[in-house]
Amino acid sequence: NAGVTQTPKFQVLKTGQSMTLQCAQDMNHNSMYWYRQDPGMGLRLIYYSASEGTTDKGEVPNGYNVSRLNKREFSLRLESAAPSQTSVYFCASSAGGGGNQPQHFGDGTRLSIL
Closest CA to 5 of 22, 20, 29, 30: 22
CB of 32 to other proteins, least distance (A): 10
Give the SS3 label for residue 46.
strand
Q: Least distance in Å: CB of 102 to other proteins?
A: 5
Our CB check for other proteins shows the closer of 85 and 106 to be 106
Q: Tell me the closest approach of the beta carbon of residue 21 to other proteins, in angstroms.
A: 13
Strand 31-37 and strand 87-94: the pairing is antiparallel
The Cβ of residue 81 has, within 10 Å, a number of other Cβ atoms equal to 21
Residues interacting with other proteins, by CB under 8 A? 4, 31, 33, 40-45, 48, 50, 56, 58-59, 90, 92, 97-100, 102-108
